Structure 1
Amino acid sequence: MTPRFGASERLDFELEMGIYVRGGRPLGQSIPIEEAHDEIMGFCLLNDWSARDVQRWEMFPLGPFLSKSFATSISPWVITAEALAPFRVPAMTRALEDPKPLRYLSDARDQANGGIDVQLDVSLSTSLMRQEGHKAAPILRSNAQNLYWTPAQMIAHHTVNGCNLEPGDLIGTGTISGPNAGELGSMLELTAAGSKPLLLGSGEERGFLQDGDIVSFSGRCRRPGYASIGFGQCAGTVAAARETIF
C-alpha cells in the first residue's frame, strides 16, 4: 500500500505515568540502580497519544516516531516521591520463564518497594454523548503496580550508556496494562486493534478515537490510615485534522 498524507484513521491513547527527574547526571555518568530512587522528584499522569496507522507503517525498520511525536498530555499536579512513600509496594512479580534483569537493574530494596499502588481510570466522552446528556463512560481501570519495570530501573537503564539527565526531565513509563481484559491501557489493546469495538451508552462504537472524543485519565492512591492522594485530570479533546498541503 502506497503511503499518503492525511488525518489519522487509528488515533489512540496510551495510559502512562510520567517520572520527573530531580537532579540528574551530566553526560557520561550513569546512575546506579541503588541511587536511582533519589533521582526521582515526582510523578504525574501521562497520555502518549499514538497514531497507530502511522506507527504500523514506520515501525519497520525505523521504529515509532511520527506516530507519537505530535502530542503528549500530562496531569496538572506533580505528586512528589516523598508523598507517595506510604503507597509503595513490591515490584511486579515476573513469570518464572521471563529472563532475569541484568545486574545493573537488580536491587533488593527496589524489588521490595519499588512499585507504586496508584489506581488508574480512563473515561471516554463523544460529541453525541455530551449532546444527549450522557456522562463520560469508564472504559478501563488499571494500576501502576502493573508496570513491568520499576521507575528506578527506568532511570538506571536510561543512563547506563552515559545519557545525561537534567532537573525537570520527564520520562514516560510506557503503557500500563494489567493482566485482565478491562485493564488494557490503550484502544489498540482494548479493542484488539479495532476488531472488537467498545459499545458506548449512546449506541456508538469505538475501535479507535474520532473527532470530538474526550479522553480523560485519573489516578488516586488509597491506603487505610493515610490521606488519599489524587493526580488531577489528564484530559484531551480530539480536534479535526488540519488540511494537509502535501
Structure 2
Amino acid sequence: MSQSWLDLPQGTLYGIEALPYASAQVGDKAHLVVRIGDHALDLTAAAPALGAGWAPVAEPGNLDDLLAAGPDVWAQLRRDVTSWLSDTVYEGRVREHLVAVDGLELLLPFTVGDYVDFYASENHAANLGRIFRPDAEPLTPNWKHLPIGYHGRSQTVVVSGEDIPRPRGQRRTPDGEVVFGPSVRLDIEVELGFVVGVGSTRGETVEVADVEQHVFGVALVNDWSARDIQAFEYVPLGPFLGKSFATSIGAWVLPLAALADARVEPPARDVPLQDYLADVPGEPWGLDIDFEVRLDGEVISRPPYAQMYWTPAQMLAHITVNGASVRPGDLFASGTISGVDVDQRGALIEMTWNGRDPITLADGRTRTFLEDGDEVAISATAPGPGGVRIGLGEVRGRILPAR
C-alpha cells in the first residue's frame, strides 16, 4: 500500500487508496480534479505539465472524455496519480497544482446521459409492500426474478449542494378529493449511483462478468420523492412527476477500482435466476458500504449497502438484455438502500412507517416527511486496503418552498 508524501490528516477517508474525481470551477472554466486528504490535485493543469499521455481527457474539465476513454486509460491515470502523490521525485512539480478542497466550487462531475433508477433492496421493497399491501405478500411476484427499475429524467440530476424546490402536482387527499398543489409528503431515497464509462452496442447484452469494462465508478445519490404525487400517478405506468423534479448526485465520483476491498457476496438467492443474471463464481459484486443520513445535522439512519439483493453487474445486464445500449455518462442507481433494522432504513416513508411513527429530533421537532428549510446530507464509507476506510463523499440538498 502506497503512502503519500503529502501530510494527510489523521484518519482521513481520502488517502491514496481512494482518489475520487470531481469537476471544479477554476477561474472561468471547469477543471478535472482528484481528491487527496483535504486537498485536490488539479489534473487539467498538472497532466500536461507532467507530460501525461492521457492529458487530453482531463482538458475539458469534467469526466466526460475520461469515461469514454475506457479501462486502460482509467487504470493508467490512476497509476500515474498514485505515483505522483507517493514518489517524492514528483513532489516539487505536483505541489503547485494542489488546492484546498474547502475552497472549491464543485460542479456536476459529468454530463448525465440516460438515468435509470432501480429497486434493488429487498428490505425496502418488503417494507413498502407491508405498508401498502398489509394483507398480501410483501414482494410483488416478479421482484426476485429481475431487477425492477424505471427511466428517470437526466436533465434534473443536480450536483450536491443545489437547493430543491418543493414539487407541485396532483394528489388525492385522505377524503378522496383530487387537488393540485405542493407535495405534502416529500421524501428522500438513499442510493448508490453507478457511472457508465464505455458504452455498449445496441442489440447486445453487457454480461455480468463484464461490468468492470463498462462502469467507471460510483457516486452518492438522493432520489427525492414526492410520495403523494407518486401514489396518485403511478398506476399503470409507474413513477413520473413524483420523481422527475430532482435527483441529487454527489460531486465526487469514486473509481470502481477503489472498491476492490469492499466487494462481498450478495445475499443468498432463494429463487433461480435466468442465466443472464447469474452471479459469476468468485467474482462477487455485493458491496460493503456503510451510509449515514443526517437531517439538519442529526443522524437519523445508517443504511448498509451489503444487504442489497441485486448487484450493479446484474442491473447493467438487465438494462441491456432487451437490446438497449448504454453510453458514456449514463447513470443507474440502486434504489433505496435499507437494512433489516429500523435505524437502517433509507427513506422517511419507512423510517416513519408512512407517517404513523414520527421521528423526534434532539431539539424536540418531529418529522414524518420533509418540511421547507430541512437539509438532508448523505455520506458513505467503505473498507479499503490494509484496514483503512475510504470515503465516497457526500450528497446534500435543502428543501425550498414550492415556486
Measure the CA separation in 1 of the matches of 2:195 and 2:267. 21
CA offsets 1:96-139 (integer angstroms, 9 cap, x no match): 4xx222111003337x52111111000101xxxxxxxxxx1100
Q: Kindly report structure 1 stretches of 4+ aligned residues shifted beyond 4 Å.
A: none
1:12 is aligned to 187
**Percent of matched pairs sharing the same residue:** 43
Structure with more relative contact order (C-alpha pairs < 8 Å, separation 6 or more): 1
2:248 is aligned to 73
Measure the CA separation in 2 of the matches of 1:224 and 1:172. 25
What letter matches 1:124 in structure 2?
Answer: L
What letter matches 1:49 in structure 2?
Answer: W
Unaligned runs of 5+ in 1: 126-135
What letter matches 1:106 in structure 2?
Answer: A
Q: What is the DSSP-based 3-state SS (H/G/I as helix, E as strand, rest coil) of the residue aligned with 1:27?
A: coil
- Counting only pairs closer than 5 Å after superposition, residues 84-163 of structure 1 correspond to structure 2 as 84-94=259-269, 96=270, 99-109=271-281, 112-125=283-296, 136-163=297-324
Q: Are 2:331 and 1:170 equivalent residues in the alignment?
A: yes
Measure the CA separation in 2 of the matches of 1:38 and 1:177. 28
**For 2:207, which of 9, 32, 47 is the aligned residue?**
32
Q: What is the DSSP-based 3-state SS (H/G/I as helix, E as strand, rest coil) of the residue aligned with 1:53?
A: helix
- Is the CA contact (8 Å cut-off) linking 2:196 and 2:328 kept in structure 1? yes
* More helix per residue: 2
1:209 is aligned to 370
Q: Are 2:225 and 1:225 equivalent residues in the alignment?
A: no
**For 2:218, which of 38, 43, 59 is the aligned residue?**
43
- Is the CA contact (8 Å cut-off) linking 2:203 and 2:322 kept in structure 1? yes
Q: Are 2:239 and 1:64 equivalent residues in the alignment?
A: yes
- Is the CA contact (8 Å cut-off) linking 2:258 and 2:384 kept in structure 1? no
Q: TM-score, normalised by structure 2?
A: 0.55
Unaligned runs of 5+ in 2: 1-175
Measure the CA separation in 2 of the matches of 1:197 and 1:21. 38
- Is the CA contact (8 Å cut-off) linking 1:19 and 1:171 kept in structure 2? yes
- Is the CA contact (8 Å cut-off) linking 1:86 and 1:226 kept in structure 2? no
Segment drifting more, 199-208 vs 100-109: 100-109
| CA apart distance, 1:27 | 2.1
Q: What is the DSSP-based 3-state SS (H/G/I as helix, E as strand, rest coil) of the residue aligned with 1:156?
A: helix
Please identify the structure whose Cα radius of gyration is greater.
2
How many positions carry a matched residue from both structures? 228
- Is the CA contact (8 Å cut-off) linking 1:16 and 1:46 kept in structure 2? yes
| CA apart distance, 1:59 | 1.4
Measure the CA separation in 1 of the matches of 2:384 and 2:209. 26
CA offsets 1:169-196 (integer angstroms, 9 cap, x no match): 1101111111111111100011000110
CA offsets 1:125-163 (integer angstroms, 9 cap, x no match): 1xxxxxxxxxx1100001211211000000000000111
| CA apart distance, 1:2 | 3.8
